[in-house]
Structure 1
């Protein structure tokens, strides 16, 4: 197949990023390219992905005009199908004439986006059953779940260091400040890895807690994986309904147990053999969950996660759905259902 990927234009793609949709675009494009498909990733100017061809788009006026230009280039390239991963209205609504699969990396919180997805005649993908239920509740009945896969990583059995990893974007919805406080209460040194999304929150809530904490704005993915292998626990006290929870999944594949809040899809992503989730907002319970998570068998944490987040399983599902969409079979199956 000739597959055009549409990436979010909010930031350039790169191999060192904490943005979940960007990570999945790179992983999936790379895997489908390895399977012999013709792949091109249309993305923001300044993007670079190792081993993946990209077509950068200049964003010089508005997001709407950028997506108009992007789709002009997509049609000129002539794909059989589009794998669309952005969450803007125009990314979904401007795709007339080419079969498309929209992957919904967020929940249905923006009315205009919900309307665009509902009006689109092509299939949609959600990244968890929890997110699928929310989208179906919003009237998107064509949504199917394909959980994110995690590529294999180098791994060695080792005793963890007394650190708590807090990875991902630094923003109120990720609970960064609560994670730092819980780590210290549990006697662990917090290590932060991620981009600052909300500078006001960072200055007001996080900076006063950073005494002796290690902070890395961005790191290559292999270094984040190495930190996960070293960490005693990865903390995810999210303050929103997480559509998936890529950091929690990657941590478990690295053999690192997870402690966090049971919100959104996290109970799917973090079963009892992978970590301990507690009542959202309860920092006392979060601090108590850390030693419980640390008591888990790290080999079992890793083996369970490798099975649940198998990369080939994700790629197989996308490959089949993209092929069905390119040939029109997805419409036939939908009509039969």
Structure 2
């Protein structure tokens, strides 16, 4: 198939550090190329891919104006392809006029998708699909990882880890309180998304056993794989939660609040625990030694591999071409 893959211009594809959407787009693109498809990736000019790279802007920039222009540029070339797969939020208004079958992956919970209810969509979890149950034509395809990029460790050290964006809905303050109640070291990795929240709720607690390591690249896996467990005290309906899957790929059990897709990603009692409060999270940490770390790795291999993700998207594309997308 000749496929146009429309990423964003906010970050490179894949991103140098954090950036879930662009990372997933990269994994999907590379997997489709390996399977013999002719893929053109619309991203920034400094993105890295084995597909054909087409771009309007040479470098990433957090600009809504440029992102809109990027989407218009990509859709202006749509007729050259059999399938267009849109990951750009600002590409939504252009989908309805696309001359070829076009599908959009929903990477957020924005109500804007509901303005275009007749479009074809891919949700990244069943929970997200439930939230967007008013949309007419939706398939579910989980994200996948290139497992070999995540080193497995059968052993752990006595510290906790959290990875993500510092903002209230990620619940980092709960992770800190859990660590303090257990008198355990906690390593924090990520980018500051909400400066006020970071300054008021996180920074005063740093020091001693609470350590902020900054926004790391692939080196973060070396930290994650040796952690006793990964804390995920999310307070919102996170559509997927890629960091949970990454942690389990390293063999690290995940303890999460029961929000968003957590129940779909974690096998409760086997690869981690689903809890509903700080008290339950504290107790789960005490019980986490019962989790088989190899089981965590196998769970990801069997359910969230890049191959499974690519195969799921191939089936979606084939159904689109056959008019069977329902």
- TM-score normalised according to structure 1 size: 0.86
Maintained 8 Å contact 2:152/2:249: no
Distance 2:238 2:62 in 1: 31
Asked if 1:274 is matched to 2:275, the reply is no
Asked if 1:177 is matched to 2:163, the reply is no
Correspondence for 2:223: 227
Task: Give the 3-state SS of the residue equivalent to 2:13 in structure 1.
Answer: coil
- Name whichever of 34-43 and 153-162 sits farther off: 153-162
Asked if 1:131 is matched to 2:131, the reply is no
Distance 1:297 1:54 in 2: 42
Maintained 8 Å contact 2:151/2:250: yes
Maintained 8 Å contact 2:166/2:193: yes
User: Which consecutive unaligned segments of at least 5 residues does structure 2 have?
Assistant: none
Q: Could you report, residue by residue, the CA deviation over 1:39-61 in whole angstroms, capped at 9, with x for unpaired residues?
A: 2222246x523545533434899
The runs of at least 4 aligned residues of structure 1 exceeding 4 Å deviation read 50-53, 59-62
Q: Could you report, residue by residue, the CA deviation over 1:134-160 in whole angstroms, capped at 9, with x for unpaired residues?
A: 111xx2121111111121125444420
User: Which consecutive unaligned segments of at least 5 residues does structure 1 have?
Assistant: none
Query: Which of residues 309, 312, 315 in structure 2 aligns to 1:317?
Result: 312
Correspondence for 2:118: 119
Count of aligned pairs: 318
Q: Could you report, residue by residue, the CA deviation over 1:218-252 in whole angstroms, capped at 9, with x for unpaired residues?
A: 3223x232222111111100010111111111111
Correspondence for 1:49: 48
Maintained 8 Å contact 1:274/1:305: no
Correspondence for 2:245: 249
Structure-to-structure mapping, 1:24-173, within 5 angstroms: 24-44=24-44, 47-49=46-48, 51=50, 53-58=52-57, 63=64, 66-76=67-77, 78-86=80-88, 88=89, 90-95=90-95, 96=97, 97-107=99-109, 109-110=110-111, 112-116=112-116, 118-120=117-119, 123-136=120-133, 139-153=134-148, 155-173=151-169
- Name whichever of 152-161 and 253-262 sits farther off: 152-161
- TM-score normalised according to structure 2 size: 0.88
